[in-house]
Amino acid sequence: MFSLSNVSKTYGGNKTKAVDSISLEIQSNQILGFIGPNGAGKTTTMKMITGILTPDEGEILINGHNITTNPINAKMSFGYVPDSPDMFLRLKGIEYLNFMADMYDVDVQTRQNRIKSMGETFEMTGSLNARIQSYSHGMRQKIIIMGALMHNPALWILDEPLTGLDPRSSFQLKEMMKQHAQEGNSVLFSTHMLEVAEKLCDKIALINRGKIIFFGELEELKESHGNISLEDIFMKVTA
């Protein structure tokens, strides 16, 4: 579904690489948890995957399309939830969802069905005619998630998607992620909620100081560290 090969990124005149020659891949039917401390390179990596940033080195393929040389086809394959939901604040919720549907050529009947379904799932139906700037942080997070999923992309790329969500919406999103993977699709999400990653993910990518220090199945990671919890492993390897 997507692959990174020896991807690096250095900011400005800083000689320290924010992302240092990392390689990752995710196949169908998988949820990949991307974890690491603040400043480890998670968001930079996700911004390169989605084409917001251009890598200095390496290649990124999404559904066979190079995100740098063939960005339109690559971007049609995924939905992206960034690390901040503070955008398009002057639009009403329904205007934003229709804008996203227009961007991805979602027909009227399909978008109406998806808006109704996701509005009920995230308890947003009664708020769609209000401006996004009037929303709470959690409501902004919900509307951005709804917009990202409007075209039913095969690959979900979610940067801290559970931040600010109420318990019910958090549960619903996790169930949606599991269902999406079970239907033959893929999910990449970053999180600081290690217990969520432990329960939800098929694979874990652990990044620290711009380098991938583990990529594989969670059980493999646990076995190599004496079957302790993911939280304990995280504290140990990122110390």
pLDDT attached to residue 207: 94
What backbone phi and psi angles, to 5 degrees, belong to 35?
A: -125, 155
- Number of CB atoms found within 10 A of residue 65's CB: 18
Q: Any idea which of 33-37, 125-129, 205-209, 216-220 has the lowest mean pLDDT? A: 216-220
pLDDT attached to residue 11: 85
d(CA 45, CA 15): 17
Q: Helices 93-103 and 108-121 meet at what angle, rounded to 10?
A: 130
pLDDT tens figures, 14-34:
677 899 999 999 989 999 999
Q: Any idea which of 64-68, 116-120, 140-144, 197-201 has the lowest mean pLDDT? A: 197-201
pLDDT tens figures, 149-203:
999 999 999 999 998 899 999 999 999 999 999 999 999 999 888 889 988 999 9
Architecture of domain 2-77+155-237: 3-Layer(aba) Sandwich (3.40)
What does the block give as tokens for 37? 């401390």
pLDDT tens figures, 82-132:
989 999 999 999 999 999 999 999 999 999 999 999 999 999 999 999 999
pLDDT attached to residue 14: 66
* Span(s) in the chain for CATH 3.40.50.300: 2-77+155-237
pLDDT attached to residue 122: 95
d(CA 146, CA 46): 19
Do 9 and 175 meet the contact criterion of CB atoms below 8 Å apart? no
Say what the pTM is.
Answer: 0.93
Question: Which long-range contacts (C-beta less than 8 Å, at least 24 apart) are formed by 70-77?
Answer: 75/50, 75/51, 76/104, 76/151, 76/153, 77/153, 77/154, 77/155
Residue 239 has pLDDT above 90, yes or no: no
What are the residues whose beta carbons fall under 8 Å from the beta carbon of 3, sequence distance 6 or more? 23, 24, 25, 26, 59, 60, 61
Q: How confident is the model at residue 211 (pLDDT cuts 50, 70, 90)?
A: very high
Do 161 and 177 meet the contact criterion of CB atoms below 8 Å apart? no
